[in-house]
A and B are shown apart, each in its own frame.
Chain A
């Protein structure tokens, strides 16, 4: 099978993939996206654009993706189920595809009560598993969910999120299997701080042979201060940050440097875990550090 995107090609060739994240701006100007593109060019195989993260309106993922393509980078469009129904989803995918987007990450999305427009109606017409089914049908059968044929089918490399740190732990692998069955080609995990738990999850994943059916890309997020670490621990749903890490940052002379060093160590450790095919670096509001992290972790770029 020929690769549908650069990211897929890297994975199929057995190279350790690197993806990074760019946060869309609260602006009608894409200047910050171009700036990040210039800063991060060459440091990753593809770049995720978040979709109204924490339910706050930002420039759309697809619009930012189009800008990235203009800048010569490969995007991963994130599409949540919170804000659009199946009609809009399929329409957006056709448009994104026409603009050159190939990688799509299907996720449920933070509930809108997380954001600053809590009064909005939520959509959730379909969930992330169903979103995968819909997109796969468009790609493999050239059909919309209604059964209507598409003149040209989109070329898509489909992704999903996996969270080894959410509960209930025992069923996380069953859910991953479900996503694979529904059409996930790759998964990106939630940021890893509790390495033990991640390793336990990977063991269960391998036991089911899932690591050979889906490309698992492990998520990391560099922490710039103990305050940020505490915020992640207490305020972000589905995240586990061990106290040892918070302590390490607290007692460091230069917490920022410590945070980068910690991230680099995590990446090096993750490379050695069987079944982990790449790393996803989420340096939100710290995008400029990605090239340094990639270099220090010895990731071939």
Chain B
């Protein structure tokens, strides 16, 4: 039993963080350059667990948390799942199927350059081909171009139920990254913003908001590691652990997102500052592969 990161994982993590800082900073998440996707592919992040790369889910989850921290394109999640379970080359967009009505709409994120979309249809991961001219414009999350398919096209399920766990795991990793970004943004601001002749982070009222953000991130991170290692080990409880990781990561992302805005005060409410970006991304991620209560309660058939 070992839930620490080994030296190879640490090296990969540092390389990822460095690359993201230089090439994919959070403050440019609204307008990513057209060539970014090709660079992400070249870095190998679109197919880390694909058969020919063969890295573990644990390593992939670590890296995705780092990518998520920089509000990387959400298409990475769908593309990585497709690469692992259908060996589909190229970009796959992320689909959110309307959970309510049959024949409802489908939301497609990151459609540019993708020839199909992948998402959860019921309990299984499924895909559908995309028209080539889909376009896409930001919805609630300004960093995620969105298109609609209306009416919903038919989806074809991937055979392996583990694909759903993989989708959930990577979404949780992105959400954790989002929670971490909000935590660090709040802490950095609390160190430099001064009121009453001292940094606001000196005051316990602010300090404790930040501490709670750190707790939520740490809790979600540990469960994510456990869930990823459970999927790698073929553990019988892997579905439970992935669902728990998803729930805690969603909560961390949304709660930290809100707290970050509060810590920033007036500037936190503006479009110009970045706190809202984390919160909006958190809301988007919470719909991708939500934790099912029957699985967390151990009642799933």
Task: State yes or no: do A and B come from one complex.
Answer: no
Could you list which residues of chain B lie within 8 angstroms of chain A, going by C-beta atoms? none
